[in-house]
Structure 1
């Protein structure tokens, strides 16, 4: 790992992400690129050329001052930090910046407070997750320590999940962490017999070319089941495959009850299929 991209909007959540990124960077000798999107509105750009230039300079000056404050954080000491400020307005363009800068990972804060679906769907974070070609770690709360010992990957054992597993496994090895795969079998109309799931598991292992730890977990809700399993296993990181522009909704459908929302404090890594 050489470069970590951290999109910041100067909120406390983006600072939580930056602090986690700094820990990852120190652990693996990586550099950090701080990326801020000015997002000047069309109304600003529609002004006269002189007014437009003056207002753009004003917001750029504010952004430069704020991003400089971020680079001077104590936890970034001894970490190589670069800054990029651009007038992108669409968070889907974060992927373009990550590609241009040859980043290996995106670490981004989320303002989500009401569970897994609201943590991603319809938010700027979801747009980054949906379009990023490199892994994204979503941070919701402050983590004084970012020690990864146990990683759980939720999977439906589709063939395309093989590449996701390999990337998750590579990340686990960086931390010398354990990695296990869980299949959440929802009860009710969508319930699938264990014998069928077992065949999927074996086919997945065969395609992967090695024996891995896979667990079968039944729960009425896919989303709640994932978080409940991670909670029971005391997981430090959850890995979720994404389907590109189809978004997380293709993999995770529905919403969570209020009492499950606290589980979203668990850092989540999304990896594009």
Structure 2
């Protein structure tokens, strides 16, 4: 983890995402890029990755807000930068991942009213389906700074090593207990001992990680995951998705979208593709 991108419109959920990103950066040593997209009535900027200078009063206020975020991060010993991009309003978060060499994305969501649109105009659904870097979606300011319990939900019927590597490393960063959750659908039930063996086998290569193996039997993936997270007092939910997932494989993006919509916990999403 070297560079974290934090899109912001300075709303409460965006500020919550910024706070989470700063907590992560303090532990990981990553740099933070605070990004704000604005519509340029005079004409679009050239390319993502290049800021634009203007004397517009509104833009001046935006720069002040970005300055405050950078100063708050620097006060915690974090290397932070601000990026203001003026464009047409059609820009996508994905466009800024490669130019800034971003490897993590932390973004805010308004939840039920904002599920179809991200805080700076991009579709949450499209973003979590298309980006290759891990993303964390935040709706509310966390009640505590520490992350002690993380639930990783999957069907474990396919090699999840890519996602597990990321989730395990993130758990180690916080010295958190990782609760693996096998989502066992009533329509395609797998015997409990088989499910536990599948999870245990994928965890064999990891050391120095505190984890538990768990199973939820349900017809509603989102409900089963949320219920279990509540039972263990989770501080974060992690899911591995696959854009073209088949029934019985990894969780599909719709599950992540439902969790964003209904769960109050930060959601770590890893696209398996």
TM normalised by structure 2 equals 0.76
Which residue of 2 is the match for residue 199 of structure 1?
A: 194
Superposition map of 1:20-169 within 5 A: 20-40=20-40, 45=43, 58=56, 60-73=59-72, 76-88=75-87, 89-90=89-90, 92=92, 94-112=93-111, 114=112, 120-121=115-116, 123=118, 124-169=123-168
Query: Post-superposition shift, 1:210?
Result: 4.3
Equivalent in the alignment of 1:16: 16
Per the alignment, residue 49 of structure 1 pairs with none
Mapped contact 1:95–1:133 kept (Cα < 8 A): no
The residue that corresponds to 1:52 in the other structure is: none
> TM-score of the superposition, structure 1-length normalised?
0.76
Alpha carbons of structure 1 residues 176 and 254: separation in structure 2 relative to 1, 3 Å: closer
Secondary structure of 1:143 counterpart: coil
Larger radius of gyration: 1
Structure 2: tracts of 5 or more residues without a match: 45-53
Tell me how far 1:202 sits from its aligned partner. Answer: 3.0
TM superposition shift of 1:91: 5.9
Structure 1 residue 198 displacement after superposition? 4.3
Q: CA 1:119/1:164 → structure 2, altered by over 3 Å: closer, same or farther?
A: farther
Q: Is the contact made by 1:223 and 1:255 (CA closer than 8 Å) also made in structure 2?
A: no
- Structure 1's unaligned 5+ residue stretches are 47-55
Q: Secondary structure at the match of 2:82?
A: strand
Secondary structure of the residue that 1:99 maps to in structure 2? coil
> Contact between 1:158 and 1:204, CA under 8 Å: does it hold in 2?
no
| Deviation (angstroms), 1:81 | 1.3
How many residue pairs match? The answer is 250
Aligned partner of residue 183 in structure 1, secondary structure: strand
Two-structure CA RMSD over aligned residues (Å): 3.4
